[in-house]
Structure 1
Amino acid sequence: MRLNPEYLVTFSVVAEYGNISRAAEALRLSQPAVSGQLKALQDLVGERLYTRTAYGITLTDAGRDLLGYARVIASTLTGAAEHLRARRNRARPLRLGLSWTLGAHAVNIVAGAHADGQAVRVTSGHSAALADDVATGTLDAALIVRPAAPLPPGLDAHRFRSEELSLLVPDAHPLAALGATPLLPIAPEPFLWPMVGSTVARHAERLLNDATVIPEVQFELGSLAAVREALVRGLGVTILPPSVARLEIDAGHVTPVLIEAPNVTVEYVVVTPSDVLERAESRRLLDLVLRARRPTRP
């Protein structure tokens, strides 16, 4: 006798629900298809496995005897499917978008993933563009600076942490001793822009506009690394989260000065598809990123 494993799986689900209609819904099969598999199984066994009642079905002695074996088969097939799905998911790296502003977190995330036996491929870019890539499925998740505009439909934002924008000045700059300042005094200072169009640059632009400050000299340097180098060399000032220049601040080359203005806080979020619980890659990446966050240093 050669039993079809699918018939045993169907039989175990029908026995669990005690109703062919509800079992068909759980199996995502039509009711005639389930009834057909049950009849084929009974024909192979040569005995009735259940009787119909007003409320559903009741197993016969033969059905109860077979049920234990059917459940083992169903459990084994489910476990094998999950194992193969997990192997397939591990076959490609998890795809993470990372805002340029948050690049320092890449090491913790990738190292944590490696310890779990999972590879992560990091793509850097503007926060808004990375969110669009998550929406189209190009990325599994993205750690970004929350843009002012709403996220694309179908995405959720999970809080990572927040930070206040500061005026970053060379250590020997006169403003370095103030501790806090409005933005008006920086009008004659050369202003250092990182990536034009980035979310942090837009926040800086907003603060300057609110303070009606137009720096007389503006350098568009194109990267955070270039801005840090310019700060160390005393070539100007900028508005950025202090974390992007943490090494230079700790070394005493750069000083963060509090900005006396409202709305200076930026929020960092992990963007995932809204149905993240149904997407193994996005779910694992969200967990990895949240585990990798470090407390903000003073």
Structure 2
Amino acid sequence: MALTLRQLKYFVATAELGQLSQAAIHLTISQSAVTSAIKELEDSLGTQLFVRTASGVTLTDTGRRFLNHAYTILASVDEAMRIPNLESTLTGTLAIAASYTVLGYFLPHHIQRLNALYPRLTIQLHELNRDAIEEGLITGQYDMAVLLTSNVSNPELALEPMIHSVRRLWVGAHHALLKRESVTFAEVAHEPFVMLTVDEAAQTAMRYWNETPWRPNVILRTSSVEAVRSMVANGSGVAILSDMVYRPWSLEGRRIETIMLLDAVPAMSVGLAWRKNKELSPAMHAVREYFRHTFMEPRASG
């Protein structure tokens, strides 16, 4: 089995963070994807890179030596992408629309990297809700969008999901549910629930709640992720949100823990969108290839 850059990126993130779950959150992918990539890497090398412990993972002696090689390989690839060719000659303006969650928790880092790769390309960002983004793409007001593709069903748009961020139950640091071996919607339904509303989060939540006989005991609806974080950390309620927006501390410095629910909860998918049958400009193609290279697992549709 051939070694891949995806495996190296996942290995480095796990080595640096010491936990598969934290690496998954950092990479905005599922923990199972990290686990599978590391197992594939260990199988390819024929040796164990990590020792699994109750608190996470630690590098073996071989793993520590391999980490230095992984750093070198990834740095070389990053340097190769900066070789003057398209990066130095690509010019123009690209209008990219993005939804609130994507712009707040995902896109800025990648815009910074795109600006470094293509210094003569001007990227214009526009924050909008999904309906406005879809209309703008169809009418040609925006070239591309980065949004929650899991919310889009417009047949006039081409979609390319990039990441699938797992949704988990958020609870305060000393919540009783942390002592359970497994947690279900039936148990969550008895808890005060804080419902996020931005980017159609409430509608999405009710879709998967409606597949159960239970309903959330909503005590607050808010468009503020920080308000949800504070309410949960203070012990006033629980929430179900994606790893992409998870941070372990509230603004007050109180801890938030996550629990994987036993019941199925759909992941939050983030990706690119553009008008179907639109010929991709060189700038659009460059952005698309950047994200494909970064996440290694493009899933095109439309």
Could you state the TM-score of these two structures normalised by the residue count of structure 2?
Answer: 0.58
Partner in structure 2 of residue 136 of structure 1: 139
CA RMSD of aligned residues (A): 3.1
**8 A contact 1:135–1:152 mirrored in 2:** no
In the alignment, what sits opposite 2:112? 111
Flag the 1:139–1:288 CA change in 2: closer, same or farther, 3 A.
Answer: farther
What's 2:231 paired with? 230
Can you list the C-alpha shifts for 1:194-242, whole angstroms capped at 9, x where unaligned?
Answer: 225x343322111222223233343111122222222222221111112
User: 2:149 aligned with 1:146, yes or no?
Assistant: yes
One-letter amino acid of the counterpart of residue 256, structure 1? T
Tell me the SS of whatever aligns to 1:259: coil
Counterparts of 2:203 and 2:246, CA distance in 1: 18
**Structure 2 contact 149–269 (Cα < 8 Å) conserved:** yes
Q: What is aligned with 2:96?
A: 96
2:158 counterpart residue number: 156
What's the CA shift for 1:132?
3.1
Query: Does the aligned pair in 1 maintain the 2:150–2:270 contact within 8 Å?
Result: no
Moved more, 251-260 or 169-178: 251-260
Q: Percent identity?
A: 19
Counterparts of 1:125 and 1:226, CA distance in 2: 21
Q: How many residues align?
A: 205
Q: How far apart, CA to CA, are the structure 2 residues paired with 1:283 and 1:179?
A: 47
Q: Which amino acid aligns with 2:227?
A: A
Q: Which runs of 5+ in 1 are unaligned?
A: 1-84
Paired with 1:294 and 1:220, the residues of 2 have a C-alpha distance of: 36
* Alignment partners' CA distance in 1, 2:293 and 2:228: 29
Query: Aligned partners of 1:95, 1:247: CA distance in 2, in Å?
Result: 33
Residue number in structure 2 paired with 1:65: none
Q: Deviations over 1:65-98 (max 9, x none)?
A: xxxxxxxxxxxxxxxxxxxx964x2xx4x22222
SS in 1 for 2:270: strand
Structure 1 residue 123 displacement after superposition: 2.6
Could you tell me which residue of structure 1 aligns to residue 185 of structure 2?
183
Could you tell me whether the CA contact under 8 Å between 2:98 and 2:126 is conserved in 1? yes
Residue 267 of structure 1: aligned partner: 269
Name the stretch that deviates more: 111-120 or 209-218. 209-218
What amino acid is aligned across from residue 120 of structure 1 in structure 2?
Answer: I
CA distances 1:126-182 after superposition (whole Å, capped 9, x unpaired): 3454233222222221122224552241x2111201122111111211112336411
Q: Which amino acid in structure 2 is aligned with residue 224 of structure 1?
A: V
Give the deviation of 1:270 after TM superposition. Answer: 0.9
Tell me the CA shift for residue 111 of structure 1.
0.8
State the 1:285 CA deviation: 3.1
Asked if the contact 2:195/2:218 (under 8 Å) is kept, the reply is no
Q: Does structure 2 conserve the Cα–Cα contact (< 8 Å) formed by 1:98 and 1:130?
A: yes
CA distance in 2, matches of 1:120, 1:278: 15
Q: Does the CA contact (< 8 Å) of 2:96 and 2:146 recur in 1?
A: yes
Alignment partner of 2:273: what SS? Answer: strand
Cα separation, partners in 2 of 1:291 and 1:180, compared to 1, 3 Å: farther
Cα distance in 2 for partners of 1:180, 1:167 equals: 11
Alignment correspondent of 2:10: none
TM-score (norm 1): 0.59
**Cα 1:292–1:232 shift into 2, 3 Å:** farther
> Is contact 1:96–1:285 with CA below 8 Å preserved after alignment?
no
Which of 113, 119, 124 pairs up with 1:121?
A: 124
- The one-character-per-residue Cα deviations of 1:31-76 (angstroms, maximum 9, x if unpaired) are xxxxxxxxxxxxxxxxxxxxxxxxxxxxxxxxxxxxxxxxxxxxxx
Tell whether the 8 Å contact from 1:97 to 1:143 is kept in structure 2 after alignment.
Answer: yes
- Cα distance, 1:247 vs structure 2: 4.4
- 2:201 corresponding residue in structure 1: 200
Superposition deviation, residue 277 in structure 1: 4.3
3-state secondary structure, aligned to 1:246: coil
Distance (whole Å) between structure 1 residues aligned to residue 264 and residue 217 of structure 2:
23
In structure 1, what is the equivalent of residue 40 of structure 2?
Answer: none
Distance 2:99 2:232 in 1: 21
